[in-house]
């Protein structure tokens, strides 16, 4: 069946993801091939000290994104979108959306970006003996309890952004296990919330003096694994998505997922001893573990794949912004000298020259902390470049240093996994702007993790594509695990290049990191000076 007929007969798959700056829709065939896409730009807003998106932002953005998809389909294929074989929704993980028994949102959506839950996060981490980051949903809920906010006694349900959109489209209060693992810890043996920790939390609520009568297990969404049915599009849901009335109800939906899970699917890194690095303005890395960690690490989040395998995640706030600033400085210099500058060419040349630098960057050092970096213990940031009198100050070393520094905080967390927990990884997948220049970021990331790094041609399709694949997996799994399905059906013919670092490059990065960790005192002084 050709693409036009597939779409006309409602046999394509739709995936939609709410990113931090863009809502994206991707339409695929049964093999995961992208057929059409739509998008809508949006930005969070700071209101009364809270980073939020309004409900109008969410629904107006979704409608516009879907309308843009319809337009793309019409222009490419000349057909009208009326249905899909299955569909799925994904979004930024964590945050706080709390509803009363009538379904009313009681306080504005608190996104993952808010750092207002430090007291709750520390208390829960100690109570559970399990790392609870500030951005997790349960930290937001408990902070509201500690603050004795007016709405807390009336909470009937709370969820993530993806869970909210799914609920409004289907009426089902469910969540994929990957997204759920960023709400509350998951017991990987049951694939559900950890019962022992739920009991501990209920005791905290009972002792809080707030008069809350709800039990945590009653207000959390039901956990589903990849491949399970998660409801069908209702008549009301179809109108929310497509007010024109073209879209018909009854379409099956896969479990809603978080952006971490869809990123793992989109990079085919859901199997044990695989992982991925997403590197752009911020950076995070995830590795699917073979066993649980021996102790709690504040630098390491534990989440799951969309089918419930345990994942260690290191998330850092800063990555390429400082590199971009230096490239812009070189652009200014070029234009001062009368040269017209093509930014793509400039980025490519400056990234590429980094590979000519010494493995330890010639003893140069920098910190790229535009904002705070919790992994290394900073709640505010400052930008630092330092060198000794004997350091080898060349352009190649300078650019290599900045590419190292972009992964410095990440590597400090990853080294806890590799050196303290003896975690093994066979292959990593890279995606994001850091990997855009062929072979450069890839080679340096391989030196950072000590394992081959692959960049796939499809990696740029992103999380909307990942949730579309999860929708197709629900329909066509045929007894396969998610890992088997991705390997056999989606990525069987994938053309991706894998690069490994040699021992000299790995030891060079390690030497840089010795200076990086010792030099954090320099960063501390800079933060105090500039803040």
Mean pLDDT, the chain cut into blocks of 10 residues (531 residues total) = 94 96 95 96 92 96 98 97 98 96 97 91 96 95 98 98 98 98 96 98 96 97 98 98 97 96 92 91 92 93 96 93 96 95 94 97 97 89 96 98 97 94 92 88 94 79 91 96 96 84 96 97 97 85
Q: How much is the pLDDT for 458? A: 67
The CA–CA distances, whole Å, from 293 to 49, 127, 130, 417 equal 36, 17, 10, 8
Residue 406 dihedral angles phi and psi, to the nearest 5°? -60, -25
Give the span between the Cα atoms of 203 and 182, in whole angstroms: 21
> Ramachandran region of residue 6, left (φ > 0), alpha (ψ -120 to 50) or beta?
alpha
Give the span between the Cα atoms of 145 and 127, in whole angstroms: 16
pTM comes to 0.89
Residue of 505, 405, 401 whose CA lies nearest to 453: 505
How long is the chain? 531
Which helix (H) or strand (E) element contains residue 224?
Answer: strand 222-224
Place of tokens 């408990």: 142
Residue of 229, 216, 228 whose CA lies nearest to 159: 216
User: How many DSSP H helices and E strands does the chain contain?
Assistant: 19, 22
3-state secondary structure of 77: helix
Give the span between the Cα atoms of 108 and 112, in whole angstroms: 13
Place of tokens 């190292």: 404
Question: Which residues, in sequence order, are bridge partners of residue 193?
Answer: 186
Given CA atoms 412, 413, 416, 418 in this order, what sign does their dihedral have?
Answer: negative
Given CA atoms 254, 255, 258, 263 in this order, what sign does their dihedral have?
Answer: negative
Q: How much is the pLDDT for 1? A: 78
Q: How much is the pLDDT for 459? A: 59
- Which residues are within 8 A (CB) of 413 and not within 5 positions of it... i.e. 6 or more apart? 285, 297, 299, 300, 314, 316, 375
Which helix (H) or strand (E) element contains residue 223?
Answer: strand 222-224
Report, in this order, helix, strand and coil percent for the chain, each rounded to 5: 45, 20, 40
Q: Please say whether the beta carbons of 162 and 58 come within 8 A.
A: no
């Amino acid at each position: 069946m050709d693409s036009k007929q597939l779409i006309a007969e409602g046999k394509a798959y739709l995936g939609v993801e709410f990113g931090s700056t863009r809502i994206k829709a991707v339409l695929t065939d049964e093999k995961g091939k992208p057929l059409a896409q739509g998008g809508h730009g949006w930005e969070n807003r700071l209101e009364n000290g809270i980073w939020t998106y309004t409900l109008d932002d969410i629904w107006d953005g979704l409608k516009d994104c879907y309308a843009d998809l319809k337009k793309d389909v019409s222009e490419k294929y000349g057909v009208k979108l009326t249905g899909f074989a299955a569909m799925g929704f994904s979004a930024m993980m964590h945050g706080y959306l709390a509803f009363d028994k009538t379904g009313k949102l009681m306080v504005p959506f608190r996104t993952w970006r808010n750092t207002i839950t430090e007291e709750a996060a520390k208390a829960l981490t100690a109570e559970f003996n399990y790392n609870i980051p500030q951005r997790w949903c349960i930290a937001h809920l408990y902070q509201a309890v500690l603050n004795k906010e007016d709405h807390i006694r009336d909470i009937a349900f709370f969820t993530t952004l993806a869970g909210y959109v799914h609920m409004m489209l289907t009426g089902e209060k469910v969540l994929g296990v990957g997204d759920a693992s960023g709400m509350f810890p998951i017991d990987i043996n049951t694939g559900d919330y950890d019962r022992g920790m739920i009991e501990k939390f209920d005791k905290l609520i009972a002792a809080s003096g707030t008069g809350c009568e709800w039990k945590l297990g009653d207000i959390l969404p039901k956990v589903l694994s990849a491949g399970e049915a998660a409801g069908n599009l209702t008549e009301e849901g179809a109108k929310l998505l497509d007010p024109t009335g073209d879209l018909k109800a009854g379409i099956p939906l896969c479990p809603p997922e978080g952006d971490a899970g869809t990123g793992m699917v989109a990079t085919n890194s859901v199997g044990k001893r695989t992982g991925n690095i997403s590197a752009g303005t911020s950076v995070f890395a995830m590795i699917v573990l073979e066993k649980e960690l021996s102790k709690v690490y504040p630098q390491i989040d534990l989440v799951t794949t969309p089918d419930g395998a345990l994942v260690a995640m290191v998330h850092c706030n800063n990555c390429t912004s400082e590199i971009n600033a230096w490239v812009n400085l070189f652009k200014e210099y070029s234009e001062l000298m009368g040269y017209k500058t093509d930014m793509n060419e400039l980025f490519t040349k400056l990234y590429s020259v980094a590979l000519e630098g010494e493995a330890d960057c010639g003893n140069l050092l920098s910190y790229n902390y535009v904002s705070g970096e919790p992994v290394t213990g900073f709640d505010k940031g400052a930008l630092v470049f330092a060198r000794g009198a004997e350091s080898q100050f060349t352009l190649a070393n300078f650019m290599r240093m900045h590419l190292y520094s972009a992964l410095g905080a990440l590597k400090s967390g990853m080294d806890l996994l590799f050196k303290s927990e003896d975690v093994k990884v066979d292959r990593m997948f890279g995606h994001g702007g850091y990997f855009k220049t062929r072979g450069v970021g890839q080679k340096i990331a391989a030196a950072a993790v000590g394992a081959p790094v692959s960049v796939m041609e499809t990696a740029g399709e992103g999380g909307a594509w990942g949730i579309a694949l999860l929708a197709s997996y629900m329909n066509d799994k045929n007894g396969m695990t998610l890992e088997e399905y991705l390997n056999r059906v989606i990525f069987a013919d994938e053309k991706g290049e894998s690069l490994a670092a040699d021992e000299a490059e790995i030891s060079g990065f390690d030497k840089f990191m010795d200076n990086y960790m010792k030099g954090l005192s320099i960063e501390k002084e800079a933060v105090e000076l500039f803040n």
